[in-house]
Amino acid sequence: MTVPAPSSVPGSTVTSLGSAHVLLTGGTGFVGQAILERLLSSHPDTTVTLLIRPKAGTSALARLRHLLKKPVFASWRERVGADEVERALTERLRVVESGLGSLPALPGDLDVVIHSASTVSFDPPIDQAFDTNVGGAVGLYEALVAAGGDPHVVHVSTAYVGGIRKGVFPEAALRHDVDWRAEHAAAQDARARVEAASRQPETLRGFLAEGRAGHGKTGPQAVAAAAEEARVAWVAARLVDYGRTRAETLGWTDVYTLTKAFAERAAEQIWAAEGHRLSVVRPAIVESALRHPYPGWIDGFKVADPLIMSYARGLLPEFPGVPDSVLDIVPVDYVVNVILAVAANPAGASSARGDDAVDAAAGAAAAPASAPEPQYFHVASGNSNPFPILRMFDNLKTFFTANPLPRDEHTSIPVPTWDFPGVRKVEGAIRTAQRANDWRERVLVRLPSTTRTRTALTGVQTRRADLESLQSLTDLYRHYVQSEIIFDDRRTRALHDGLPEEAPADIGFDVTDIDWEDYFQTVHFPSITAMTRAFSVRPAAAGAVLDARALPQRTDVVAVFDLEGTVLDSNIVEQYLWVRSNGFRKAAWPAEVASLLTGLPAYLRAEGRDRGEFIRAFLRRYAGMPVSRLKGVVRSAGYAETVRRHTLPEALARIAEHRAAGHRTVLVTGSIGTLATPIAHLFDEVVASTMHERDGVLTGYLAQPPLVDEARAAWLAQWALEEGIDLSGSYGYGDSHADLAWLEMLGNPSAVNPDANLAREALRRRWSIRDWSRARGSSASGTSTAPAVGTTSKGEGDRV
């Protein structure tokens, strides 16, 4: 659908801002950077005041200096030289160090205000969207009123303030009677209400259950941290849903367009209604530059780019849009050119307004010079040079078939063919894929952890991220890719037609000049793929990461080794059987085995809940054993040989490497320290549990809580402090998810033969994963020069 343009007066559009004093908000953003570059390069007599927040300890002025080093300013810097850049910083550019929330006094001599600051997200929590887009606009316009000047305000909005509608959307004020102030107050109150709901006992119990299921073996603090993390995520998700749903119930696509619409109304009521000049510029989807500052300039991914790159990476197998829906895209330099042309041609000036027919056709009657009506401009292509989604698909397939992204060094990613089945079928397919992926993960975490299962888990995690991204894209873009709205652009075309004939071509904004195939194939697609290094080969997803660097020579670091499953290919059940098999009557074995099997389900349940609970429960089996008998068994050749046979050769080699590098070596176990006597000489410290005894007989109870999970982490922190150990440079080796709490304290953690849950965490955190296996006939004797037990090692159960 095309709306014919009215006649215009050639040469009636002013192209210079002269010596105007311009206030620019959002100058560090995408459009704001391009506006500032144009002011510096094409309007040399202007003075520009920028509103910039200090950030992360960096002052506003330092941020401005850093900003001017960005690629958008490269041509200007090279043309004017370093001295002129410095002069601009000291004479032309001024900084107000503040955000929009609580503005200081603004200059009273402003001629033009360009308000381009806003949130960059379509779907932020509702309170954040209102605070930035609505609260920021209110704060700015109230500060301008207080300053006492009369600048021409150019308010940068979005064409999609038109909301969910079909047909032509005119360049005029929005028609709605929503009380934006009441909505703003409700949005600000929303967080308090959702936060309160998140702290209700029934809600918190769900977070705790989730935390225990995933982190119970790591310890109570890990459970608490996971529960709180889940609560915070729940609050954020509720506030995002609150914003999305409230926007749709009022007729807008999302909370971004809703709050941008309310910001327009704030500008009209606070600024224009007081007799000041107001122009509203509404760009559609802003993408990379066509000509200025150079073809393809862009600063980060913009609205359409996640869709483009998801398609190229094979992550968008189908599209939830309507093939004949218009993807309304405009290059950023066109948007900037309109903003500055509008800034130079305020309402009420004959040179800016064209003839009366333009005003009448746009629905804005002439107003008295003392109180000009606001004027509205759409910067859009859908009316004058439409680009339907089906045509975008053809361009995508053409470009990425000729230039496929590499999957690895030998293969490329094939691009999909879209059939456009509709949003419901696409969303249904995503949900089905998510359920299948979740089921696969549940199976994998129950299987023994091997290189194969860890590689499969990596694939599951990658698949989950891909599906979540796809779901997010579908949620965010559903209205934009099914849109049937057409943005009338007659006033904007009239402004362009009024440009002087001698005006440079790169200040124009006639969208009918854009050859979309040329723009996407030679400008935009190459720009965003280069920006993301899309054509570089990424490392393939691997089941394990291994740090094979040589150990540094240091005396202020420690290597901490867990015992069961890490140094020994065994567990405390097997150790108990080793003890019982030495000097135990054969006739008693059937009863012992039966007892063990009977108790096994309870042991497994305890192990699943808490490692310490399992250790306490199992060590009760030692009740009634004389201490002298236990020590005699451990000193026997049979027991010692059994321990040595089960000691992993790779563990012995790694211990020797650490000792050779001057590192302290520590063996830590939640079991009885006496049981580790045959290999104690390999370590500088042996830290373990001790059993309570009465009259030389073990009672079956521990003398102290077992040193596992978070208790081990607390011990390690205290010991390192007392011994002067640098934990950030230290090493840790553990096999269980219960070891996570102390492994994450160390700068060089390794998961050794990890269980499925530790393997998942190690893969996510990119830790080293080591597969150590037992060789037949291996022995620990003669593998280390570490001192024997009783010299520098701690005795049984001693703790630092």
- The larger pLDDT score, comparing residue 99 to residue 43, is at 43
Where residue 588 falls among pLDDT bands split at 50, 70, 90? Answer: low
pLDDT at 696: 87
- The larger pLDDT score, comparing residue 356 to residue 193, is at 193
CA 664, CA 655: separation in Å to the nearest integer?
Answer: 10
Backbone angles phi, psi at 31, to 5 degrees: -65, -40
CA 625, CA 620: separation in Å to the nearest integer?
Answer: 10
- Whole-angstrom CA distances from 787 to 160, 441, 567, 656 are 75, 45, 18, 12
pLDDT at 755: 84
pLDDT at 389 over 70: yes
Instruction: Note the pTM of the prediction, 2 decimals.
Output: 0.75
- Answer whether 537's CB lies under 8 Å from 48's CB: no
| Average pLDDT value for the chain | 83
Percent of the chain clearing pLDDT 90 (strictly above): 48
From 677, 705, 706, 698, select the one nearest 620 (Cα to Cα). Answer: 698
Where residue 571 falls among pLDDT bands split at 50, 70, 90? Answer: confident
- Answer whether 175's CB lies under 8 Å from 268's CB: no
What is the average per-residue pLDDT within 486-510? 92
Q: Residue 680 carries which DSSP code?
A: G
pLDDT at 190: 95
pLDDT at 776 over 50: no
pLDDT at 562 over 80: yes
pLDDT tens per residue, range 693-732? 888 888 888 878 887 888 889 999 999 999 999 999 999 9
pLDDT at 526 over 80: yes
How many of the other CB atoms lie within 10 Å of CB of 266?
A: 25
Per-residue tokens: 684: 């500088």
pLDDT tens per residue, range 404-431? 888 877 888 888 888 877 777 777 877 8
Cα of first residue to Cα of last residue in the chain, in angstroms, is 80
What is the average per-residue pLDDT within 641-645? 86
What is the average per-residue pLDDT within 123-134? 92
CA 242, CA 777: separation in Å to the nearest integer?
Answer: 65
What is the average per-residue pLDDT within 737-743? 90
Identity at 582, one-letter amino acid code? N
Return the HEC string of 245-274: HHHHHHCCCCHHHHHHHHHHHHHHHHHHHH
pLDDT at 372: 82
How many of the other CB atoms lie within 10 Å of CB of 62?
A: 14
- Chain length of the chain: 800
CA 24, CA 774: separation in Å to the nearest integer?
Answer: 68
- Answer whether 282's CB lies under 8 Å from 377's CB: yes
- The larger pLDDT score, comparing residue 39 to residue 353, is at 39
pLDDT at 1 over 60: no
pLDDT at 589: 60
pLDDT at 782 over 50: no
Most confident of 2-16, 636-650, 720-734: 720-734
Per-residue tokens: 268: 């009209």
All residues at 6 or more sequence positions from 746 whose CB lies less than 8 Å from its CB, including other chains: 560, 727, 728, 730, 731, 732
Least confident of 201-210, 219-228, 439-448: 439-448
- Answer whether 57's CB lies under 8 Å from 32's CB: no
- Whole-angstrom CA distances from 151 to 112, 216, 270 are 5, 62, 14
pLDDT at 603 over 70: no
Three-state SS at 304: coil
Three-state SS at 700: strand
Rg, the chain, Cα only: 35
How many of the other CB atoms lie within 10 Å of CB of 521?
A: 16
- The larger pLDDT score, comparing residue 558 to residue 696, is at 558
